[in-house]
Structure 1
Amino acid sequence: MTADLSVAGAGAGVGGPLLDAHLLVERGTFRLDLPLVIDPGEVVALLGPNGAGKTTALRTLAGLIPLSAGHLTLAGRDLDRPGHRVWTPAERRPIGVVFQDYLLFPHLSVLDNVAFGPRRQGLDRRRARERAAGWLDRMGLAEHARRKPRQLSGGQAQRVALARALAVDPALLLLDEPLAALDARTRLDTRVQLQHHLAAHAGATLLVTHDPLDALVLADRLVIVEHGRVVQAGDAATITAQPRTDYVARLVGLNLYRGRADGRRVLLADGFAVTVAEPLRGDVFVAFPPSAVALHPGRPDGSPRNSWPATISGIQRHGDNLRVQLTGPIGVAADVTPAAAAQLRLAPGQPLWAAVKAAETRVYPAG
């Protein structure tokens, strides 16, 4: 793959959304059905499990996969509308792309990598290099202009790739897992820098990522896809407070169950009843964080309103704590400190009791 996607200038600003698309793509047995609207200056994160359709969506926007139906309008201009036989090739789209592996030209200097897009737009060598130099200066990379990509660190290569994409003044910037190739420390620093540069970008930005932290830090809005369809969309606060699928719950670190509420009692699908803090009626979701789950060697007495026998199926390190996976009437994840784990002598296959206070639960309508 070359950087030809980053070589068309952005269209004139228009009122309303900058990107207005309904991506309908059929590839064998897989079908993508994704409405997508992004305003000028807005960053939208597209998340989902492997095979959900994220890559198909990105490649369709970039012009590498044609729509089967629907439309793709950017800056007031139809780029792909099969019903009207409109199709714009990748190299003529006002789009910049930062690939997961950056895909810098190894034989070109950093300066000429960034100047490549402006040259393709028709600028002469001098003016293209002037524009590239300006972008490298903004990225804090001016002193690396004459280096080759192999002489850069991972964080530096990521910023060069971003400069190359932005140097063509794209109406739409596509970021494909832009931080995935970096080590943990470099990722932290580069995420902060990327946040700064995206805030200054006047066009629309779509961030494709598996990492919820990247999405929460960098994006204004999240769109979550599963099996080619949107399952949830909104700002981070709404989605983290009220996940609506198991994938979303795992993404934001919550235990999630669906059941039928009758006041403060919720009967889950497998017949297990949970007492919750807020009274509701009808189909609901019940959620609580792993940190709300207390583990006991025997049946607990006292305040917990929900307790049940469980068996440890796995233990993994999770930040400073341990995450314990439990089977039983309901599957659940619990976070415990290493000290508590040692005191309880936790081990796979061990029976114990789990408890969650009603006050620690969230309950909200499933409809």
Structure 2
Amino acid sequence: MNAEDARPGGPRPEPGGPAVHPPALDAHLRIDRGAFRLDLPLTAAPGEVVALLGPNGAGKSTALRALAGLLPLGAGHLRLDGTTLEDPAAGLHTPAEDRPVGVVFQDYLLFPHLTALDNVAFGLRCRGLRRAAARAEALPWLDRMGLADHAGSRPGSLSGGQAQRVALARALAVKPRLLLLDEPLAALDARTRLEVRAGLRRHLAAFDAVAVLVTHDPLDAMVLADRLVVIEDGHVVQAGLPADIARHPRTDYIARLVGLNLYRGIADGHRVTLPDGLTLTTTEDLTGPAFVAFPPSAVTLYRERPAASARNLFPLTVAGLDLHGDQVRVDLTGPLPLAADLTPAAATDLDLTPGTPVWATVKATQTHAYPA
């Protein structure tokens, strides 16, 4: 992932800061479910796409259901365009059907007995339009999705990408002020996903209200969202622009997500001392708590200790190997557990197998240090 993947357009708040004021979405979602607690402040400006990113069980789906009105808040508030939709302290809870919210579910949940046109018209019918009027409003939405020729088709005859676009048209047809997308590309194969992601990106760029995307896929988040909010165990651990989060991860989960080795220690000039006493040399000059990150491609492996006086040199052991795109990802254990990426030819030349002892070097110029 890189900055070029980030979605163009839309408001660009400062990394980790609040959305442009006044926010169209102003929420603090607090829910207790058994031992799990969601405590999530969330704001967004008109036209902004915010991605909730996190591991399974982090609270993403709980947050989405709360925004939709399917799960009541225990505390906090939810305001949309200045209107309070939920305030437990005041005894206010607006039912889901009365909220100006559109939802695209992970499995789309199209009605199998209805045509594509009638699926899109369904929400309009629920808002009180007669059948003919609802169909008349629904047809242009299908046309925008490139599906006018499939208006009479039922979901069972549509491809995954076509079904996703019908679900999006159904959500947008009611002119929501908040669009919720729950893993909208998860049900698609890799080839279809690429095409549909590009289409969804265009539609979101033209959407003038707030969109909240829930995903565990970093590429979907990077391409589709203006801002990322990463949650773990029900709490925000990092928020900001996609490129900034990719460059400055603050938890192991985020580092793995963006493909970086990440360590935290105490900086004193160009050296960062880790909790176990190991030191990493960097080009940045810092003082105090700091992170050090570097990509697996920055690691060079040797079977024998290299003669070069590398500053960052560690004896490690191969724990496992896996194909990672067109590279071999080598997991290493020892004083500095890390991941290294090699070409298949290099991995063959080194004759690596689990248990093989190696020496790993990382140039200071290929590390990146920043305040913790």
Place the TM-score, normalised by the shorter chain, in its bin: over 0.9
* 1:183 matches 2:189: yes
SS in 2 for 1:36: strand
Partner of 1:49: 55
SS in 1 for 2:28: strand
* 1:353 matches 2:359: yes
Distance 1:341 1:285 in 2: 29
Q: Does the aligned pair in 2 maintain the 1:303–1:357 contact within 8 Å?
A: no
Deviations 1:173-222 (A, max 9, x none): 00000000000000000000000111111110000001000000000000
* 1:259 matches 2:260: no
Partner of 2:35: 29
Partner of 1:60: 66
Match of 2:340 among 315, 334, 353: 334
* 1:157 matches 2:163: yes
* Cα drift, residue 156 of structure 1: 0.3
* TM-score, length basis structure 2: 0.93
Partner of 1:304: 310
Q: Which amino acid in 2 is paired with 1:193?
A: G
Distance 1:335 1:28 in 2: 42
RMSD across aligned C-alpha pairs, in angstroms?
Answer: 0.9
Distance 1:34 1:186 in 2: 33
* 1:294 matches 2:288: no
Deviations 1:5-48 (A, max 9, x none): xxxxxxxxxx7211100001111111111010011111011000
Match of 2:287 among 281, 291, 302: 281
Deviations 1:92-123 (A, max 9, x none): 11100000000000111110000000111111
Match of 2:117 among 103, 111, 121: 111
* 1:174 matches 2:172: no
Poorly superposed stretches of 4+, deviation over 4 Å:
none
* 1:132 matches 2:142: no
SS in 2 for 1:163: helix
SS in 1 for 2:188: coil
* Cα drift, residue 236 of structure 1: 1.1
Q: Which amino acid in 2 is paired with 1:214?
A: D
Deviations 1:72-100 (A, max 9, x none): 00121111100111110111111000000
Q: Which amino acid in 2 is paired with 1:321?
A: Q
Contiguous gaps of at least 5 residues in structure 2? 1-20
* Cα drift, residue 301 of structure 1: 2.2
Identity %: 67
Q: Does the aligned pair in 2 maintain the 1:255–1:332 contact within 8 Å?
A: yes
Distance 1:198 1:70 in 2: 28
Match of 1:98 among 101, 104, 122: 104
Q: Which amino acid in 1 is paired with 2:198?
A: V
Q: Which amino acid in 2 is paired with 1:221?
A: R
SS in 2 for 1:132: helix
* Cα drift, residue 280 of structure 1: 1.2
Q: Which amino acid in 2 is paired with 1:158?
A: Q
Q: Which amino acid in 1 is paired with 2:152?
A: R
Distance 2:341 2:255 in 1: 15
Q: Does the aligned pair in 2 maintain the 1:305–1:357 contact within 8 Å?
A: yes
Partner of 2:248: 242
Partner of 1:79: 85
* TM-score, length basis structure 1: 0.95
Q: Does the aligned pair in 2 maintain the 1:259–1:266 contact within 8 Å?
A: yes
| 1:199-278 alignment, distance < 5 Å | 199-278=205-284
Distance 2:112 2:141 in 1: 19
* Cα drift, residue 304 of structure 1: 2.6
Match of 2:320 among 314, 319, 336: 314
* Cα drift, residue 275 of structure 1: 1.1
* Cα drift, residue 303 of structure 1: 5.4
* Cα drift, residue 226 of structure 1: 0.6
Distance 1:60 1:73 in 2: 12
Partner of 2:9: none
